[in-house]
A and B are shown apart, each in its own frame.
Chain A
Amino acid sequence: MFDLLPHLLNGLTLGLLFALIALGFMLIVGLMEQINLAHGSLFALGAYVAMQLTGPRPPLPTELAKPWLALPLGWRYAATLIIAPVIVSLVGMLIELCMRRTYGKDPLYGLLLTFGAAMVIEEMIRLVWGTRDYVLQVPSAINGGFLFGDLIWSTYRFYAAGIAAGVIGLVWLLIEKTSFGATVKAGAHDSEIVRALGINLSRLRLVVFVFGTMLAAIAGIIVAPIWGIRPHMGVDAVIPAFLVIVLGGVGSFWGAVVAGLLVGLCVGLAGAYASEWSLLSMYILLVAVVTFRARGLWGKKSVLEA
Chain B
Amino acid sequence: MASVIGGTGSFFGPWRQNHAWAQGAKPIKLGLTCDASGQYGNSGQDDFRGIKMAIDEINAKGGVLGRQVTFITADTETTPATGSRVAERFITREDCTILIGALHSGVANAITQVASKYGVIYMNTNSSAPSEAGENCSRVKFVWDGNGTNFSKASVKNAVDSIGKNWMLLTNDYVWGHTTSAATRTQVESAGGKILDNLLVPQNTRDFTAYLLKIQQAKPDVVATAVGGDDIKALREQVAQLKLDGKPAWINNQQDWPDVWGAPDSLFGVFGTTWYHKLPLPGVAEFVKKWQAANKDGPIPVPGNVSYNGYMSTRELLRAIERAGSTNNVKIIKELENLKVSATDRMQHFDAYMDPMTHQMQQTIYLARRNAKPADNTDLFEIISWTEPKSAADDAAAGKCKLTPYEQVPTVDS
| Chain A interface residues (CB < 8 Å from chain B) | 3, 6-7, 10-11, 13-14, 130-135, 143-145, 151-157, 225-228, 230-232, 236, 267-272, 275-276, 278-280
Contact = CB atoms under 8 A, between A and B. Distances in A.
Given A143-B241, A152-B244, A157 B209 contact: yes
Contact of A276 (B200, B237, B258): B200
A256 to B, nearest CB: 19
A271 B215 CA distance: 12
Interface stretch (B104-112, B115-123, B145-153, B259-267): B259-267
B235 to A, nearest CB: 10
Interface in B291-344: 298-300
13 contacts: A6-B213, A13-B209, A130-B299, A132-B262, A133-B259, A133-B262, A144-B241, A152-B216, A155-B241, A157-B209, A226-B206, A227-B206, A230-B233
Contacts of B265: 135
B73 interface: no
Contacts of B42: 131-133, 230
Interface of B: 36-38, 41-42, 45, 173, 199-202, 204-207, 209-211, 213-214, 216-217, 230, 233-234, 237-238, 241-244, 258-259, 261-263, 265-266, 298-300
B214 to A, nearest CB: 5
Contact of A271 (B38, B211, B241, B242): B211
Describe A's contact surface by its main secondary structure.
helix
Contacts of A10: 209-210, 213
A133 B233 CA distance: 9
Contact of B238 (A154, A278, A279): A154
B209 A268 contact: yes
B48 to A, nearest CB: 11
B79 to A, nearest CB: 13
Given A6-B213, A272-B214, A230 B241 contact: no
Given A226-B237, A226-B238, A131 B213 contact: no
Nearest to A279: B202
Contacts of A236: 204, 206
B268 to A, nearest CB: 14
A280 B202 contact: yes
Contact of B262 (A143, A228, A275): A228
A151 B218 CA distance: 11
B209 A145 contact: no
Given A152-B242, A278-B210, A135 B237 contact: yes
B213 A151 contact: yes
A145 B238 CA distance: 10
Contacts of A135: 237, 262-263, 265-266
Contact of B242 (A133, A154, A230, A279): A154
Given A132-B262, A145-B242, 12 more contacts: A11-B210, A130-B298, A130-B299, A132-B258, A132-B299, A144-B242, A231-B41, A236-B206, A272-B210, A272-B214, A275-B214, A278-B202
Nearest to A11: B210
B237 A225 contact: yes
Contacts of B207: 14, 226-227, 267, 271
Nearest to B44: A131
A269 B213 CA distance: 11
A155 B214 CA distance: 18
Contacts of B263: 133-135, 228
A227 B300 contact: no
A153 B234 CA distance: 16
Contacts of A232: 37-38, 41
A267 B42 CA distance: 27
Given A6-B213, A133-B233, A275 B243 contact: no
